[in-house]
Amino acid sequence: MTTVLTQGGNAPLTTARVTVEVTAPKALDVSGLLLTEAGKVRSDADFVFFNAPNGPGVTHRPAAGSTPDAITVDTGSLPSEISKVVVTASLDDAGATFAGTEPTATVRDADSGAVLVTFTPPRLTRETALVVVEVYRRGDSWKVRAVGQGYDNGLAGIATDFGVSVEEPAAPAPAAAAQAAPTAPPKPVTPPAVPASLTKVTLDKGRVSLTKGGSVSLEKNGKPFLSSVRMGLGWEPAGRGRNIDLDASCLAFDAQRNKLETAWFMKLSIFNGAIAHSGDNLTGEGAGDDEAITVHLDGLPPEVCGLVFVVNSFSGQKFTDVKNAYCRLLDAGTGQELVRFDLTQSEPHTGVVMCKLVRQFSGEWVMTAIGEYVNAKTARAMAKPAAAML
């Protein structure tokens, strides 16, 4: 049975893994902050959002098709010192407020999808960001509380309030931090090595180099930059003259993470040519990309919401026998490299999920570097782990 909460109300969680979806008539960015008993993050690594989608026990799921932005909390995987996970929502449009567009939080069983709790805050006015709900520890169990606390200085205001160091904050953010200063603990706080950036990474400044878990929107100057892209994947044998038969594939999924089609060396064209594979490379030798997959984004059916690019070892050799594996996104028309992700470490497995392209609720496409190794030698065996990483 679904529990409908009012502001300040709480309910016990009947499952260890929950997904908190937040929806509104306007495009939203949903994030999660892992807090200690002091009500602060331990470091910027405890701030999970569109540019840093993975944290200890908490993951961000970007909007895709009819599936909204969400935060998944695995209470069994949270560090012992974390007592609370705060789920926030901010408006994607910098000039917009929540006035008349109160968001609704839907808390689901992350495994079954069953709705456990819903909450819509009271009428809002000038707020641009909101602490929607919190998942918190109570003794040996976990509960969810409806919060509905608004901020008029955006996500930067929330992040600063909970101890995140914000890189190039919006103008109101320093004032908010200054007001909070008198109540801050007197002992000095060592700033994290890598400050969090609350600005979406786009192609405005040219080529982007991603690290594992990083994301980039395929937009420039606020508009879709191109309609056709090519994903190039490459690798080299690790030595001793051994040929490595790796295969690159592209798996297409709908909003429910159901696999629709796969482009691989046995099926080079899908969706009437909207996705085309270059063909099989049996050795990995030679300069440049070993295999490439071209995607005409405008030609994809509307039900395609996520594309996952994988590489597997058809010959069964481990990725510890491979070096310099990478993927890069290029403008299919000009060949210009736009985004690059280099795998810096290898693991003794036969498959790797390299990256994903996800269609957002707004229609934009976002590329995220994944770099997760799995045991799978064929494209078919990659389907289940690829779906889990969307």
Pair 247, 104 in one domain: no
Pair 159, 228 in one domain: no
**Predicted confidence band of residue 361 (pLDDT cuts 50, 70, 90):** low
Of residues 370 and 235, more confidently modeled: 370
Pair 168, 265 in one domain: no
Pair 263, 215 in one domain: yes
Pair 262, 157 in one domain: no
CATH number at residue 136: 2.60.60.30
Pair 137, 280 in one domain: no
Pair 39, 178 in one domain: yes
**Predicted confidence band of residue 378 (pLDDT cuts 50, 70, 90):** confident
Identify the pLDDT of residue 283.
40
Structure tokens at 135: 């998942």
170 pLDDT more than 70: no
Identify the pLDDT of residue 7.
86
**Predicted confidence band of residue 94 (pLDDT cuts 50, 70, 90):** low
pTM of the model: 0.58
Residue 338 lies in a domain: yes
214 pLDDT more than 90: no
Identify the pLDDT of residue 14.
92
Tens-digit pLDDT profile for residues 114-157 = 999 999 988 888 888 899 999 999 988 999 999 988 887 788 87
Identify the pLDDT of residue 59.
94
Q: Which of 158, 176, 197 is the last residue of a domain?
A: 197
The count of structural domains within the chain is: 2
Residue 202 lies in a domain: no
The whole domain housing 11 covers: 3-197
Pair 182, 222 in one domain: no
Pair 13, 135 in one domain: yes
18 pLDDT more than 50: yes
Identify the pLDDT of residue 205.
82
